[in-house]
Structure 1
Amino acid sequence: MRAGGTRRGTSAGSRVFLAYALASLLLVGVLGGLLVQGYRDDAARQGQDQGRAQAAVIEEMAVAPALDGADLAAGLTATQRQRLQEATDLAIFHGSVLGMRLRSFAGQVAFSDDGSTAGGIPVSDPAFRSAVGGATDVAVVADARRSAGMVIRVLQPVIAGASGQAVGVLELYLPYDGIAAHLRRQMTATYWRLGAALAGLYLVLALIAWSTSRSLRRYAARQEHEALHDALTGLPNRAAFRAHAREALAAGAATGAVGLVDLNRFKEVNDTLGHHAGDELLIVVASRLTAALGAGGTVARLGGDEFGLILPGLTREEVLALLETARAELVRETVLDGVALRIEASFGVALYPEHGAEVEELLQHADAAMYQGKRGAADIVLYDRDQVAHPAHWLVVQAELRHALERDELVLHYQPKVRLADDEITGVEALVRWQHPVRGLLAPAEFLPAAEQSGLIEPLTAWVLRRALADQAGWAALGQRWPVAVNVSARNLEAAGFPQAVAGLLAEHGAAPGLLLLEITETALAGDAETAARAVLELTALGIGVAVDDFGIGYTSLSQLRTVPVAEIKIDRSFVTGLDGDPQNQAIVRSVIALAHGLGLRVTAEGVETPEVRAWLADAGCDDAQGYLFARPQAWPHLLDLVLHPRGSGRHARAELATAPDAVTVRT
């Protein structure tokens, strides 16, 4: 598929180049033709100007003196004719004049160099009439005396004697061959220079076209690659995986398999070593899976820590043997940030055509088998209709979460937001946890996705808001007026009456709207943008603050930031972790800070874990920060106790906050 796309891009680029080259050639040809025609017109004007000047000299120096007192209508005297003949014989002999006629205004030939009294330009000719009227007409015409060649014909009035009166028309034929030869030599040299210049211009245009089309081909290929590949691992992404799977099924192989791989306890790597270590681990997994499957299989990253496998043309036994090899390769020890780790993963496999003939059906069965493996059946689970549990895992979570709301199993932990100017706490963010009766304290990632896919997110958000406002009243009674931030989802904004429900909760707890901040993810604003914007407008009209959470990883447009009245932007931790040593992320964060401040918004950086990153953010003008450097999420009484009764001061007090215990060390 990639090769076909490359060929299409190359063909399209070639067509662009050819069209550009032909268009450039046409334009250069037209330009050259216009310049050549201009040179020819200049040459003709030069011949005419030379003929006009020569005729004026002949008329003034030779003809006019010989006609003193003459009347051409009555004819010339012998003396006048003799003078004219003497005046013109030498010019005719040397070839500077080819022919001459002296004519009356009526057209009669009073004198000609060859003695004839007939011929010449007709009286009705506009050129003759122009000369009768006192003007000079010059033209390059065919030589009537020769079968080939051109002459300069001049017709002008003749001024005789001291009277200054015109007495007739002088019809003069001057040689043009010398002028033409000189002009041809000039034009030949000009043509060569013009041709060389135009050829150079065309070459430059052709090079520009070639360079442009090549850049377009490369850009198109890069865009196509990025659209179908994961930026971190370089593997095909979910869209490419589905396309490859459809191709494999359409190829008509007798048997094959589609598999899903999900890493176990991947979140713990992110929590303990940081997201950069998690990214490195994903790259290692991608490399090992690709090497284990070889050229015959396809490995894709579907998102997060989930990978997809396509194994065409293999039997059940061959599939299981190959996946066992891949699992053995995968669990080899690796070292991240000086910590030795063993990668564990759950494999779910669906065979075709045994378990389905469509991509979606196979993926669904592979997903069910994978979750069966996560529940402890085995690392590699082959789909079995009789053994795979139904409904799927997230349906189980939804059912349990519904009971959790009824039994009040949820708890809130709070993480402070610190002002970088003086390290003062300016507010806290409420982070929901689930005290599961069997699995222990669960982080949001374990149950929020299931809630998002169902109607449970609305009662869950209402519970968080109610509990957060009640807790806020508790710490306010002890003298601490901390604003509280609560995360809301796209489904909350799209729900009818959500702003009014929030207003009712504020009234129920007697809470000030200005001390509540609702954090909305970028994807929530990018979904039903009109509905989300309307909800935000209603919330802000109530005096409630609104912040854009995880900014930089979603799809918020600048127009939304300009039109939706948000108060704060929170930069996602993926841009903040290791910020002091990453020039690209530094450039992004500086731009976000400048953009937010330009719009009058505050900026909070998430995931600040080192003093170096804190110092960099403060220098860059960031307003607030959250992260383990300042405090881990914890119950508000413990947080308040550490603030009001610190056992140290300054950095020691902050260190107590940062090292205070937290049962779950992941932030959402």
Structure 2
Amino acid sequence: MGESHRTLVTIPNRYAFVDRIDGYLQRNRRASLLLIDVVRFSDVSTSFGHEVGDRILLEIANRIQRLFGHDALLGRVSGDIFGLLIPGWHGERQLRHHYNHLVEHFKAPIYCQDHAFLADFNVGAVPNAPENGDIIKLLSRAEGALKQAKENRYDNLCIARLEDKVRGGRALALKADLQRAMQRDELELYFQPKVRLRDLKITGAECLLRWNHPMDGVLFPGALIEAAESYNMMNELGYWTMTQAFKHALRFRAQGIDVPLSLNMSPTQLYDVNFIPTLRQLSESYGIDLSSFELELTEDIALSNSLMVKRQLSQAKALGARIAVDDFGKGYSNLAYIRDLSIDTLKIDKTFVMGLNENPVNMAIVQAAQLIAASMECEIVAEGIEDLEQLHVLRDSGLRTGQGYLFSRAVPEAEFIELYHQDLSVGSSLAHVHRTG
């Protein structure tokens, strides 16, 4: 459980770490979660390169593991933030002692290729409550504590309790904004068409959240998502989005539009025990089969090897829903995990599509994704198609489906209905697309 790692890849990523904590909490609630942020680590990678940066991060991870012993669970929550679950009940004094122990230990520099690095940390710490078995609640509170530690002027440690009220003027404003947005119907689903490349017919749409802010106009919901994650409201937001998707699907059918809608899934939903019952209930309430929906997961979630995620996805598929892996090729996940997942669609990350003209490696990645998709008998979708040359190259390579600004941005419901009923190639910049058809 607490062995030394020879590479960063073997350290559990965010989703595998969450899964391990979840398993631990089901057996034993006595534990505290620490999120350990390496201060100004981006400067190291910028100055010395990613290889040196990765070796220093690996040394930091192994030192932390040795320092807290084999019973502590270690994970890499994000690039330069580690998670540590320490068994046992801890008061504030004990948690501060752990923090001081960490800081003192790292006063000894880390040496790598003639470079010396002195690690300093921001730490958010939360002791679990005896009645709490909800890992998402514990992680959300720890993330809030870490944000507070970063904002503190003098103290790099923030200890929070599960029942603490969230602090900070900006934080409270974000939470108020989120609650108001949901209560006053300020949120809206937009739809980005998925297009059959052969004839530009719309064959599906991705649902994307937009925020009609009363003062700032239509916003991409970055701040909204941030607030939802910080206040354990991602489930509420996710289920609002799912409900709206079913409502729109009914309205689309009334307009003669029967194409699958894709929904982006948050990790929070996939770790929620109510996820499958809610899907089933929505399908029954609106009388729409789940085969009309595709659940999109980012590659790192889909390939996290989390037993809970696999179970939820398996149950969703059994109900008829399709499963898509978004941003395929972008991450560094172990592709062996993909063999254990039953996937209907792989979406090639837009960075490879947009870079087709500049780098032949991007085309090789697209072709590799096609081979993987063919062996798994699943569909493949190219994201980020922005010009005709990309369209022609992808179509000539055998790719059937794509989405991107060449066809349409994400648009409101009325515009999507209009787009669906018109021929995209008529009277537009795409009029000459069929020349290579």
TM-score class normalised by the smaller sequence: 0.5 to 0.7
What pairs up with 1:197-596 in 2 under 5 angstroms?
223-227=51-55, 238=80, 250=107, 363-365=150-152, 390-391=167-168, 393-394=170-171, 396-527=173-304, 529-596=306-373
Structure 1 residue 612: Cα displacement: 1.1
| AA partner of residue 602 (structure 1) | E
Q: What per-residue deviation string (whole Å, max 9, x for no partner) do you get for residues 391-414 of structure 1?
A: 164553233212211222101110
1:650 aligns with 2:433: no
Query: What amino acid sits opposite 2:150 in the alignment?
Result: L
Change (3 A) 1:566 1:393: farther
Deviation per CA, 1:331-369, whole angstroms, max 9, x where unpaired?
Answer: xxxxxxxxxxxxxxxxxxxxxxxxxxxx9987333699x
Aligned with 1:599 (options 376, 400, 412): 376
| Contact residue 525 and residue 556 of structure 1 kept, 8 A | no
- Deviation of 1:434 (Å): 1.1
User: C-alpha separation between the residues in 1 aligned to 2:202 and 2:396?
Assistant: 19
Please tell me whether the aligned partners of residues 490 and 527 of structure 1 are also in contact (alpha carbons under 8 angstroms).
no
Structure 1 pair 519–250 and aligned structure 2 pair: CA distance change class (3 A): same
Deviations 1:112-139 (A, max 9, x none): xxxxxxxxxxxxxxxxxxxxxxxxxxxx
Q: Is contact 2:266–2:297 with CA below 8 Å preserved after alignment? A: yes
Change (3 A) 1:419 1:392: farther
What is the distance in 2 between the residues matched to 1:533 and 1:596? 19
Partner Cα distance (1:578, 1:484) in 2 = 27
Q: Which residue of the other structure, out of 406, 411, 422, is the alignment partner of 1:634?
A: 411
Deviation at 1:560, TM superposition (A): 2.9
The 1:571–1:401 alpha-carbon spacing in structure 2 relative to 1, beyond 3 Å, is: same
Q: Distance in 2 between matches of 1:640 and 1:367?
A: 55
In 2, the alpha carbon distance for the partners of 1:454 and 1:239 equals 20
Rounded Cα–Cα distance in structure 1 between residues aligned with 2:379 and 2:171: 37
C-alpha separation between the residues in 1 aligned to 2:249 and 2:154? 42
If asked which structure has higher relative contact order (CA below 8 Å, sep 6+), I would say: 2
Aligned match of 2:389: 612
CA–CA distance in 2 between the matches of 1:492 and 1:361? 25
**Residue 398 of structure 2 aligns with which residue?**
621
Residue 496 of structure 1, CA deviation: 0.3
In structure 2, give the amino acid aligned to 1:566: I
SS of equivalent residue, structure 1 residue 418: strand
- The separation in 2 between residues aligned to 1:574 and 1:366, in whole angstroms, is 38
> Which secondary structure state, in structure 1, belongs to the residue aligned with residue 427 of structure 2?
helix
Q: Percent identity?
A: 31
How far off its partner does 1:503 sit? 1.4
Aligned residue pairs: how many? 305
| One-letter amino acid matched to 1:363 | K
> What's the CA shift for 1:390?
5.0
CA distance in 1, matches of 2:195, 2:376: 22
SS of the aligned residue for 2:209 comes to: strand
Structure number with greater Rg is: 1
In 2 relative to 1, CA 407–601 (structure 1 residues): closer, same or farther, beyond 3 Å? same
Q: 1:86 is matched with which residue? A: none
Q: CA deviation at 1:432?
A: 0.5
Aligned to 1:215: none
Moved more, 425-434 or 445-454: 445-454
CA shift in 2, pair 1:654/1:632, >3 Å: farther
1:644 aligned partner, one-letter code: H
- Work out whether residues 411 and 432 of structure 1, in 8 Å CA contact, stay in contact via their aligned partners in 2: yes
Question: How has the CA–CA distance of structure 1 residues 610 and 362 changed in structure 2, closer, same or farther, with 3 Å as cutoff?
Answer: same
TM-score, length basis structure 2: 0.61
Task: Give the conservation status (yes or no) of the 8 Å contact 1:433–1:444.
Answer: yes
**1:49-88 correspondence to structure 2 within 5 Å:** none
Q: In the alignment, is the contact (CA less than 8 A) between 1:580 and 1:616 conserved in 2? A: no
SS in 1 for 2:202: strand
- Worse-superposed segment, 617-626 or 446-455: 446-455
Deviation digits for residues 264-286 of structure 1, max 9, x if unmatched?
xxxxxxxxxxxxxxxxxxxxxxx
The structure-2 alpha-carbon separation of the partners of 1:395 and 1:582, relative to structure 1 and needing over 3 Å to count, comes to farther
Q: Distance in 2 between matches of 1:550 and 1:634?
A: 21
* Higher normalized helix content (fraction of residues): 1
Q: CA RMSD in A?
A: 3.8
Pairing of 1:44-193 with structure 2 (within 5 A): none
Structure 1 spans left out of the alignment, 5+ residues: 1-220, 230-236, 241-245, 252-296, 299-358, 369-388, 657-668
